[in-house]
Structure 1
Protein backbone atom coordinates (compact mmCIF):
# COMPACT_ATOMS: atom_id res chain seq x y z
CA UNK A 1 0.00 0.00 0.00
CA UNK A 2 1.26 3.49 -0.88
CA UNK A 3 0.39 6.86 0.63
CA UNK A 4 1.38 10.03 -1.20
CA UNK A 5 1.23 13.73 -0.42
CA UNK A 6 2.78 16.78 1.20
CA UNK A 7 4.30 16.19 4.61
CA UNK A 8 3.10 18.19 7.59
CA UNK A 9 3.91 17.49 11.22
CA UNK A 10 2.34 14.32 12.55
CA UNK A 11 -0.97 14.77 14.34
CA UNK A 12 -1.20 13.16 17.76
CA UNK A 13 -3.66 11.87 20.33
CA UNK A 14 -2.68 11.79 23.99
CA UNK A 15 -2.90 8.24 25.33
CA UNK A 16 -0.84 5.32 26.57
CA UNK A 17 0.89 5.12 24.21
CA UNK A 18 0.50 8.33 22.23
CA UNK A 19 -1.14 7.79 18.84
CA UNK A 20 0.52 9.28 15.76
CA UNK A 21 -1.00 10.08 12.35
CA UNK A 22 0.55 11.19 9.07
CA UNK A 23 -2.20 13.11 7.30
CA UNK A 24 -2.26 13.81 3.56
CA UNK A 25 -4.92 15.64 1.58
CA UNK A 26 -6.86 12.51 0.63
CA UNK A 27 -5.63 9.89 3.10
CA UNK A 28 -4.06 9.34 6.50
CA UNK A 29 -1.92 6.72 8.19
CA UNK A 30 -2.00 5.66 11.85
CA UNK A 31 1.76 5.26 12.24
CA UNK A 32 1.45 3.13 15.41
CA UNK A 33 -0.07 0.36 13.30
CA UNK A 34 3.07 -0.06 11.19
CA UNK A 35 5.55 -0.51 14.05
CA UNK A 36 7.99 -3.35 13.36
CA UNK A 37 7.15 -3.22 9.64
CA UNK A 38 9.22 -2.07 6.70
CA UNK A 39 8.44 1.31 5.20
CA UNK A 40 9.92 3.00 2.12
CA UNK A 41 10.07 6.80 1.95
CA UNK A 42 10.57 8.36 -1.49
CA UNK A 43 11.12 12.08 -2.01
CA UNK A 44 9.11 13.43 -4.97
CA UNK A 45 9.35 17.22 -4.76
CA UNK A 46 8.36 20.30 -2.78
CA UNK A 47 5.15 22.24 -2.13
CA UNK A 48 5.19 25.38 0.03
CA UNK A 49 2.66 25.10 2.85
CA UNK A 50 1.86 28.81 2.57
CA UNK A 51 1.53 29.61 -1.14
CA UNK A 52 1.09 26.05 -2.43
CA UNK A 53 3.67 26.52 -5.18
CA UNK A 54 6.12 23.75 -6.05
CA UNK A 55 9.12 25.71 -4.84
CA UNK A 56 12.08 24.49 -2.82
CA UNK A 57 11.38 24.58 0.90
CA UNK A 58 13.53 27.11 2.77
CA UNK A 59 12.39 26.80 6.42
CA UNK A 60 9.35 25.74 8.44
CA UNK A 61 7.53 24.33 5.42
CA UNK A 62 7.76 27.60 3.50
CA UNK A 63 9.57 28.67 0.35
CA UNK A 64 12.08 31.51 0.64
CA UNK A 65 9.60 34.25 -0.30
CA UNK A 66 6.88 33.07 2.10
CA UNK A 67 9.31 32.61 4.96
CA UNK A 68 10.11 36.31 4.81
CA UNK A 69 6.54 37.52 4.21
CA UNK A 70 4.04 35.22 5.96
CA UNK A 71 2.88 36.35 9.44
CA UNK A 72 2.81 32.69 10.50
CA UNK A 73 6.62 32.54 10.56
CA UNK A 74 7.53 35.93 12.03
CA UNK A 75 10.46 36.22 14.43
CA UNK A 76 8.05 36.29 17.40
CA UNK A 77 7.19 32.64 16.74
CA UNK A 78 10.66 31.50 17.83
CA UNK A 79 11.23 34.48 20.15
CA UNK A 80 7.94 35.19 21.96
CA UNK A 81 9.49 38.14 23.78
CA UNK A 82 9.39 40.01 20.43
CA UNK A 83 5.57 39.89 20.36
CA UNK A 84 3.98 43.33 19.96
CA UNK A 85 0.26 42.70 19.33
CA UNK A 86 -0.52 43.65 22.96
CA UNK A 87 0.75 47.14 22.06
CA UNK A 88 -1.30 47.27 18.84
CA UNK A 89 1.92 47.15 16.80
CA UNK A 90 2.13 44.90 13.74
CA UNK A 91 5.09 42.77 12.76
CA UNK A 92 3.66 41.57 9.44
CA UNK A 93 -0.12 41.34 9.92
CA UNK A 94 -1.71 42.68 13.10
CA UNK A 95 -5.01 40.78 12.68
CA UNK A 96 -3.23 37.44 12.45
CA UNK A 97 -0.74 38.30 15.18
CA UNK A 98 -3.50 39.46 17.54
CA UNK A 99 -5.36 36.17 17.15
CA UNK A 100 -2.29 34.14 18.01
CA UNK A 101 -0.50 36.37 20.51
CA UNK A 102 -3.47 37.69 22.50
CA UNK A 103 -4.61 34.42 24.01
CA UNK A 104 -3.58 32.43 27.09
CA UNK A 105 -0.04 31.09 26.95
CA UNK A 106 1.74 28.58 29.17
CA UNK A 107 5.35 28.77 30.29
CA UNK A 108 6.42 25.25 31.20
CA UNK A 109 9.22 22.98 32.33
CA UNK A 110 9.69 19.81 30.29
CA UNK A 111 11.95 16.79 30.67
CA UNK A 112 12.97 15.55 27.24
CA UNK A 113 16.74 15.20 27.81
CA UNK A 114 17.40 17.54 30.72
CA UNK A 115 15.01 20.12 32.14
CA UNK A 116 14.09 22.79 29.59
CA UNK A 117 11.84 25.84 29.69
CA UNK A 118 9.43 26.65 26.90
CA UNK A 119 6.36 28.56 25.78
CA UNK A 120 3.17 27.36 24.13
CA UNK A 121 -0.39 28.49 23.61
CA UNK A 122 -2.70 26.93 26.18
CA UNK A 123 -4.66 25.27 23.36
CA UNK A 124 -1.48 23.37 22.40
CA UNK A 125 -1.22 21.49 25.71
CA UNK A 126 -0.12 18.66 25.67
CA UNK A 127 0.52 18.61 21.89
CA UNK A 128 3.56 20.86 22.18
CA UNK A 129 5.16 18.58 24.75
CA UNK A 130 4.50 15.49 22.66
CA UNK A 131 6.06 17.16 19.61
CA UNK A 132 9.22 17.79 21.65
CA UNK A 133 9.44 14.21 22.87
CA UNK A 134 9.08 15.24 26.51
CA UNK A 135 8.77 12.42 29.04
CA UNK A 136 7.18 14.77 31.58
CA UNK A 137 5.99 18.38 31.52
CA UNK A 138 4.60 20.87 34.01
CA UNK A 139 3.07 24.34 33.64
CA UNK A 140 4.86 27.12 35.51
CA UNK A 141 2.56 30.04 34.78
CA UNK A 142 -0.44 30.81 32.58
CA UNK A 143 -0.36 34.37 31.23
CA UNK A 144 -2.84 36.28 29.00
CA UNK A 145 -0.53 36.95 26.04
CA UNK A 146 2.57 35.73 24.24
CA UNK A 147 4.75 38.69 25.24
CA UNK A 148 4.46 37.95 28.98
CA UNK A 149 5.23 34.30 28.28
CA UNK A 150 8.26 35.36 26.26
CA UNK A 151 9.82 37.57 28.91
CA UNK A 152 9.23 34.79 31.46
CA UNK A 153 11.05 32.29 29.24
CA UNK A 154 13.95 34.72 28.80
CA UNK A 155 14.26 35.09 32.58
CA UNK A 156 14.16 31.33 33.18
CA UNK A 157 16.69 30.60 30.43
CA UNK A 158 19.30 31.83 32.89
CA UNK A 159 18.56 28.71 34.95
CA UNK A 160 17.26 26.08 32.49
CA UNK A 161 18.03 25.00 28.94
CA UNK A 162 15.66 26.24 26.24
CA UNK A 163 16.35 23.55 23.64
CA UNK A 164 15.96 19.78 23.60
CA UNK A 165 19.06 17.66 23.06
CA UNK A 166 17.38 15.59 20.36
CA UNK A 167 20.10 12.95 20.30
CA UNK A 168 19.67 12.24 24.02
CA UNK A 169 15.89 12.32 23.61
CA UNK A 170 15.97 9.72 20.82
CA UNK A 171 18.41 7.40 22.60
CA UNK A 172 16.31 7.74 25.78
CA UNK A 173 19.20 9.26 27.72
CA UNK A 174 16.91 11.15 30.10
CA UNK A 175 17.83 12.76 33.42
CA UNK A 176 15.82 11.78 36.51
CA UNK A 177 14.59 15.11 37.87
CA UNK A 178 11.53 16.11 39.91
CA UNK A 179 9.81 18.90 37.91
CA UNK A 180 7.56 19.88 40.82
CA UNK A 181 10.64 20.43 42.97
CA UNK A 182 12.27 22.47 40.20
CA UNK A 183 9.13 24.63 39.94
CA UNK A 184 9.24 25.34 43.68
CA UNK A 185 12.64 27.04 43.25
CA UNK A 186 11.83 29.53 40.53
CA UNK A 187 9.26 32.07 41.76
CA UNK A 188 11.89 34.70 42.55
CA UNK A 189 13.29 34.37 39.03
CA UNK A 190 10.03 35.44 37.39
CA UNK A 191 9.64 39.01 36.02
CA UNK A 192 7.60 41.35 38.27
CA UNK A 193 4.75 41.54 35.72
CA UNK A 194 4.35 37.75 35.89
CA UNK A 195 4.51 37.14 39.65
CA UNK A 196 0.70 37.33 40.03
CA UNK A 197 0.27 34.41 37.62
CA UNK A 198 2.43 31.97 39.59
CA UNK A 199 0.61 29.33 41.62
CA UNK A 200 3.00 27.07 43.49
CA UNK A 201 0.37 24.52 44.49
CA UNK A 202 -1.15 24.11 41.01
CA UNK A 203 0.80 21.18 39.61
CA UNK A 204 -0.67 19.59 36.48
CA UNK A 205 2.14 17.17 35.75
CA UNK A 206 1.80 15.32 32.44
CA UNK A 207 3.60 12.08 31.65
CA UNK A 208 4.03 10.97 28.05
CA UNK A 209 4.43 7.37 26.90
CA UNK A 210 5.75 6.89 23.36
CA UNK A 211 5.28 3.93 21.02
CA UNK A 212 8.90 2.78 20.87
CA UNK A 213 9.82 -0.91 20.59
CA UNK A 214 13.56 -0.32 20.86
CA UNK A 215 15.71 2.78 21.31
CA UNK A 216 18.88 3.07 19.20
CA UNK A 217 22.31 3.37 20.78
CA UNK A 218 23.57 5.62 17.98
CA UNK A 219 21.51 7.65 15.55
CA UNK A 220 21.87 9.03 12.04
CA UNK A 221 19.52 11.73 10.76
CA UNK A 222 17.80 11.14 7.42
CA UNK A 223 17.77 14.10 5.00
CA UNK A 224 15.59 13.57 1.92
CA UNK A 225 17.66 16.12 0.02
CA UNK A 226 20.72 13.90 0.44
CA UNK A 227 18.96 10.51 0.49
CA UNK A 228 15.81 10.74 -1.67
CA UNK A 229 14.86 7.09 -1.10
CA UNK A 230 15.07 5.21 2.20
CA UNK A 231 13.84 1.83 3.38
CA UNK A 232 13.84 0.58 6.94
CA UNK A 233 11.91 -1.19 9.68
CA UNK A 234 10.05 1.21 11.94
CA UNK A 235 10.96 0.66 15.61
CA UNK A 236 9.42 3.70 17.25
CA UNK A 237 7.92 7.17 17.15
CA UNK A 238 8.95 9.91 19.56
CA UNK A 239 8.54 13.65 19.33
CA UNK A 240 8.14 14.21 15.60
CA UNK A 241 10.69 11.52 14.73
CA UNK A 242 10.37 8.11 13.12
CA UNK A 243 13.00 5.71 14.52
CA UNK A 244 14.26 2.85 12.33
CA UNK A 245 16.04 -0.42 13.10
CA UNK A 246 19.45 0.74 11.77
CA UNK A 247 19.48 3.85 13.97
CA UNK A 248 18.24 6.15 11.23
CA UNK A 249 15.82 8.81 12.49
CA UNK A 250 13.53 10.96 10.33
CA UNK A 251 12.23 14.29 11.59
CA UNK A 252 8.81 14.63 9.96
CA UNK A 253 8.29 18.20 11.14
CA UNK A 254 11.57 19.48 9.71
CA UNK A 255 10.49 17.96 6.38
CA UNK A 256 7.18 19.82 6.15
CA UNK A 257 6.45 20.88 2.58
CA UNK A 258 8.26 17.87 1.09
CA UNK A 259 6.16 15.77 -1.26
CA UNK A 260 6.72 12.09 -0.52
CA UNK A 261 5.34 8.64 -1.10
CA UNK A 262 5.24 6.12 1.73
CA UNK A 263 5.12 2.45 0.72
CA UNK A 264 4.30 -0.30 3.20
Structure 2
Protein backbone atom coordinates (compact mmCIF):
# COMPACT_ATOMS: atom_id res chain seq x y z
CA UNK A 1 0.00 0.00 0.00
CA UNK A 2 1.35 3.41 -0.98
CA UNK A 3 1.11 5.89 1.90
CA UNK A 4 1.02 9.67 1.55
CA UNK A 5 0.50 12.62 3.87
CA UNK A 6 -1.22 15.99 3.88
CA UNK A 7 -0.09 18.80 6.18
CA UNK A 8 -2.81 21.42 6.03
CA UNK A 9 -5.78 23.10 7.65
CA UNK A 10 -9.18 21.55 8.27
CA UNK A 11 -12.11 22.86 6.18
CA UNK A 12 -15.38 22.34 8.05
CA UNK A 13 -17.22 22.76 4.73
CA UNK A 14 -15.39 19.74 3.32
CA UNK A 15 -14.35 21.24 -0.01
CA UNK A 16 -10.74 22.18 0.61
CA UNK A 17 -7.86 21.53 2.98
CA UNK A 18 -7.42 18.23 4.78
CA UNK A 19 -10.86 17.02 3.72
CA UNK A 20 -10.27 17.61 -0.01
CA UNK A 21 -6.82 16.05 0.23
CA UNK A 22 -8.02 12.85 1.90
CA UNK A 23 -10.88 12.51 -0.60
CA UNK A 24 -8.40 12.87 -3.45
CA UNK A 25 -6.04 10.32 -1.93
CA UNK A 26 -8.88 7.84 -1.55
CA UNK A 27 -10.05 8.31 -5.14
CA UNK A 28 -6.51 7.75 -6.43
CA UNK A 29 -6.02 4.60 -4.36
CA UNK A 30 -3.36 5.69 -1.89
CA UNK A 31 -3.62 5.65 1.90
CA UNK A 32 -3.76 9.16 3.31
CA UNK A 33 -2.37 10.31 6.64
CA UNK A 34 -2.78 13.85 7.95
CA UNK A 35 -1.21 16.59 10.07
CA UNK A 36 -3.61 19.42 10.92
CA UNK A 37 -2.10 22.91 11.14
CA UNK A 38 -5.31 24.81 11.88
CA UNK A 39 -9.04 24.40 12.36
CA UNK A 40 -11.29 26.65 10.33
CA UNK A 41 -14.96 27.48 10.61
CA UNK A 42 -15.89 27.88 6.96
CA UNK A 43 -18.33 26.98 4.23
CA UNK A 44 -18.74 27.88 0.56
CA UNK A 45 -19.54 31.48 1.53
CA UNK A 46 -16.30 32.17 3.37
CA UNK A 47 -14.08 31.66 6.40
CA UNK A 48 -15.67 32.67 9.70
CA UNK A 49 -12.80 31.75 12.01
CA UNK A 50 -9.33 30.18 12.21
CA UNK A 51 -7.91 28.39 15.23
CA UNK A 52 -4.25 27.45 14.64
CA UNK A 53 -2.61 24.32 16.01
CA UNK A 54 0.47 24.89 18.18
CA UNK A 55 3.83 24.24 16.47
CA UNK A 56 4.61 21.62 19.12
CA UNK A 57 1.48 19.67 18.29
CA UNK A 58 2.11 19.94 14.54
CA UNK A 59 5.54 18.42 15.12
CA UNK A 60 4.07 15.71 17.37
CA UNK A 61 1.54 14.71 14.69
CA UNK A 62 4.33 14.40 12.12
CA UNK A 63 6.49 12.38 14.50
CA UNK A 64 3.63 9.98 15.24
CA UNK A 65 2.99 9.29 11.55
CA UNK A 66 6.62 9.01 10.46
CA UNK A 67 7.44 6.61 13.31
CA UNK A 68 4.78 4.15 12.15
CA UNK A 69 4.30 4.61 8.40
CA UNK A 70 6.53 4.60 5.32
CA UNK A 71 5.31 7.85 3.76
CA UNK A 72 6.28 8.05 0.07
CA UNK A 73 5.10 11.59 -0.68
CA UNK A 74 3.46 14.48 1.13
CA UNK A 75 1.92 17.84 0.43
CA UNK A 76 1.60 21.01 2.44
CA UNK A 77 -1.36 23.33 2.21
CA UNK A 78 -2.47 25.99 4.65
CA UNK A 79 0.43 26.39 7.11
CA UNK A 80 -0.72 29.65 8.76
CA UNK A 81 2.42 30.86 10.58
CA UNK A 82 6.20 31.12 10.33
CA UNK A 83 6.59 29.08 13.52
CA UNK A 84 4.59 26.20 12.07
CA UNK A 85 6.52 26.32 8.77
CA UNK A 86 9.86 26.28 10.56
CA UNK A 87 8.82 23.29 12.66
CA UNK A 88 7.57 21.40 9.59
CA UNK A 89 10.77 22.08 7.66
CA UNK A 90 12.85 20.91 10.62
CA UNK A 91 10.85 17.67 10.83
CA UNK A 92 11.19 16.99 7.09
CA UNK A 93 14.91 17.51 6.64
CA UNK A 94 15.76 13.97 7.74
CA UNK A 95 12.91 12.28 5.90
CA UNK A 96 13.27 10.58 2.52
CA UNK A 97 9.96 11.76 1.11
CA UNK A 98 8.85 13.70 -1.95
CA UNK A 99 7.44 17.10 -0.98
CA UNK A 100 4.72 19.06 -2.80
CA UNK A 101 4.11 22.62 -1.59
CA UNK A 102 0.78 24.26 -2.35
CA UNK A 103 1.50 27.81 -1.09
CA UNK A 104 -2.01 28.49 0.21
CA UNK A 105 -2.32 32.19 1.03
CA UNK A 106 -5.82 33.50 0.30
CA UNK A 107 -9.23 31.79 0.58
CA UNK A 108 -11.70 32.01 -2.32
CA UNK A 109 -13.62 34.66 -0.39
CA UNK A 110 -10.50 36.79 0.07
CA UNK A 111 -9.57 35.90 3.66
CA UNK A 112 -5.84 35.68 4.40
CA UNK A 113 -4.76 32.14 5.34
CA UNK A 114 -1.03 32.84 5.72
CA UNK A 115 0.56 35.44 7.95
CA UNK A 116 3.00 37.87 6.32
CA UNK A 117 6.14 36.60 8.06
CA UNK A 118 5.17 33.07 7.03
CA UNK A 119 5.87 33.90 3.37
CA UNK A 120 9.49 34.64 4.27
CA UNK A 121 9.70 31.40 6.25
CA UNK A 122 8.26 29.43 3.34
CA UNK A 123 10.87 30.86 0.96
CA UNK A 124 13.76 30.31 3.37
CA UNK A 125 12.85 27.02 5.07
CA UNK A 126 10.36 25.01 3.02
CA UNK A 127 10.84 25.66 -0.70
CA UNK A 128 14.56 24.75 -0.64
CA UNK A 129 13.66 21.18 0.41
CA UNK A 130 10.57 20.82 -1.83
CA UNK A 131 10.26 18.85 -5.06
CA UNK A 132 7.30 20.78 -6.48
CA UNK A 133 5.55 24.06 -5.70
CA UNK A 134 2.16 24.85 -7.28
CA UNK A 135 1.40 28.60 -7.05
CA UNK A 136 -1.45 30.36 -8.78
CA UNK A 137 -0.63 33.79 -10.20
CA UNK A 138 -1.43 35.83 -7.03
CA UNK A 139 0.64 33.41 -4.93
CA UNK A 140 3.54 33.58 -7.38
CA UNK A 141 3.35 37.38 -7.24
CA UNK A 142 3.55 37.28 -3.45
CA UNK A 143 6.52 34.88 -3.47
CA UNK A 144 8.48 36.84 -6.09
CA UNK A 145 7.32 40.41 -5.52
CA UNK A 146 6.49 40.67 -9.25
CA UNK A 147 3.40 41.65 -11.20
CA UNK A 148 2.63 38.76 -13.55
CA UNK A 149 0.56 39.23 -16.71
CA UNK A 150 2.54 37.87 -19.67
CA UNK A 151 4.16 34.58 -20.63
CA UNK A 152 7.59 36.16 -20.22
CA UNK A 153 6.70 37.34 -16.71
CA UNK A 154 5.46 33.83 -15.88
CA UNK A 155 8.84 32.42 -16.95
CA UNK A 156 10.76 35.08 -15.03
CA UNK A 157 8.74 34.43 -11.87
CA UNK A 158 9.23 30.67 -12.19
CA UNK A 159 12.98 31.14 -12.54
CA UNK A 160 13.03 33.23 -9.37
CA UNK A 161 11.15 30.51 -7.50
CA UNK A 162 13.44 27.78 -8.87
CA UNK A 163 16.40 29.75 -7.55
CA UNK A 164 15.02 29.22 -4.03
CA UNK A 165 15.91 25.54 -4.40
CA UNK A 166 12.71 23.80 -5.47
CA UNK A 167 12.99 21.22 -8.29
CA UNK A 168 9.83 22.10 -10.22
CA UNK A 169 7.35 24.98 -10.40
CA UNK A 170 3.80 24.62 -11.72
CA UNK A 171 2.59 28.12 -12.59
CA UNK A 172 -1.17 27.73 -12.62
CA UNK A 173 -2.93 29.97 -15.13
CA UNK A 174 -6.49 29.99 -13.89
CA UNK A 175 -6.34 33.66 -12.86
CA UNK A 176 -5.26 34.83 -16.32
CA UNK A 177 -7.69 35.79 -19.10
CA UNK A 178 -8.40 33.77 -22.22
CA UNK A 179 -10.68 31.00 -23.54
CA UNK A 180 -8.33 28.34 -22.20
CA UNK A 181 -6.62 27.80 -18.87
CA UNK A 182 -2.91 27.23 -19.40
CA UNK A 183 -0.59 25.95 -16.68
CA UNK A 184 3.15 26.16 -17.38
CA UNK A 185 5.54 23.74 -15.73
CA UNK A 186 9.22 24.61 -15.27
CA UNK A 187 12.01 22.26 -14.13
CA UNK A 188 15.37 23.21 -12.64
CA UNK A 189 17.17 21.61 -15.62
CA UNK A 190 15.68 24.32 -17.87
CA UNK A 191 12.98 22.20 -19.50
CA UNK A 192 9.30 23.14 -19.47
CA UNK A 193 5.90 22.26 -20.89
CA UNK A 194 2.36 23.63 -20.87
CA UNK A 195 -0.99 22.05 -20.04
CA UNK A 196 -3.98 23.60 -21.79
CA UNK A 197 -7.58 22.86 -20.80
CA UNK A 198 -10.90 24.52 -21.52
CA UNK A 199 -11.95 27.24 -19.13
CA UNK A 200 -15.15 26.32 -17.31
CA UNK A 201 -17.69 29.03 -16.51
CA UNK A 202 -18.45 28.01 -12.93
CA UNK A 203 -18.23 29.41 -9.42
CA UNK A 204 -17.77 25.90 -8.00
CA UNK A 205 -13.97 25.97 -7.71
CA UNK A 206 -13.46 25.81 -3.94
CA UNK A 207 -10.52 23.55 -3.17
CA UNK A 208 -9.14 23.24 -6.70
CA UNK A 209 -5.59 24.06 -5.61
CA UNK A 210 -5.75 21.62 -2.71
CA UNK A 211 -7.16 18.91 -4.95
CA UNK A 212 -4.56 19.44 -7.68
CA UNK A 213 -1.59 19.30 -5.29
CA UNK A 214 -3.09 16.30 -3.47
CA UNK A 215 -3.47 14.47 -6.79
CA UNK A 216 0.18 15.19 -7.62
CA UNK A 217 1.13 13.80 -4.21
CA UNK A 218 -0.96 10.68 -4.72
CA UNK A 219 0.61 9.95 -8.10
CA UNK A 220 4.13 10.55 -6.77
CA UNK A 221 3.30 8.15 -3.96
CA UNK A 222 2.32 5.56 -6.56
CA UNK A 223 5.70 5.92 -8.27
CA UNK A 224 5.00 8.21 -11.21
CA UNK A 225 7.64 10.70 -12.36
CA UNK A 226 7.23 14.40 -11.61
CA UNK A 227 5.97 15.11 -15.13
CA UNK A 228 3.58 12.16 -15.22
CA UNK A 229 2.21 13.01 -11.78
CA UNK A 230 1.54 16.62 -12.76
CA UNK A 231 -0.25 15.68 -16.00
CA UNK A 232 -2.43 13.03 -14.36
CA UNK A 233 -3.26 15.41 -11.51
CA UNK A 234 -4.32 18.07 -14.02
CA UNK A 235 -6.71 15.59 -15.65
CA UNK A 236 -8.12 14.69 -12.24
CA UNK A 237 -8.82 18.27 -11.14
CA UNK A 238 -10.10 19.32 -14.56
CA UNK A 239 -12.65 16.50 -14.44
CA UNK A 240 -13.63 17.55 -10.93
CA UNK A 241 -14.27 21.12 -12.15
CA UNK A 242 -16.11 20.12 -15.33
CA UNK A 243 -18.60 17.98 -13.38
CA UNK A 244 -19.62 20.14 -10.38
CA UNK A 245 -21.70 18.93 -7.47
CA UNK A 246 -23.64 22.22 -7.37
CA UNK A 247 -23.85 22.34 -3.59
CA UNK A 248 -23.53 25.28 -1.22
CA UNK A 249 -24.60 28.89 -1.76
CA UNK A 250 -21.18 30.34 -2.58
CA UNK A 251 -18.01 28.96 -4.19
CA UNK A 252 -18.97 25.29 -4.13
CA UNK A 253 -16.50 22.39 -4.02
CA UNK A 254 -15.14 20.46 -6.96
CA UNK A 255 -16.41 16.94 -7.59
CA UNK A 256 -13.88 14.46 -6.24
CA UNK A 257 -16.12 11.60 -7.38
CA UNK A 258 -15.82 12.53 -11.07
CA UNK A 259 -12.72 10.39 -11.64
CA UNK A 260 -14.36 7.28 -10.16
CA UNK A 261 -17.47 7.84 -12.27
CA UNK A 262 -15.40 7.78 -15.43
CA UNK A 263 -15.34 11.43 -16.48
CA UNK A 264 -12.28 11.91 -18.70
CA UNK A 265 -11.06 15.49 -18.92
CA UNK A 266 -9.17 16.64 -22.01
CA UNK A 267 -5.82 18.25 -21.28
CA UNK A 268 -3.53 19.25 -24.15
CA UNK A 269 0.17 18.87 -23.46
CA UNK A 270 2.35 21.41 -25.28
CA UNK A 271 6.07 20.64 -25.27
Asked if Structure 1 and Structure 2 have the same fold, meaning a TM-score greater than 0.5 normalized by the shorter chain, the answer is no
State which structure, 1 or 2, has the greater radius of gyration over its C-alpha atoms: 1
TM value normalised by structure 2: 0.29
- Greater fraction strand: 1
TM value normalised by structure 1: 0.30
- Greater fraction helix: 2
Bigger RCO of structures 1 and 2 (CA < 8 A, at least 6 apart): 1
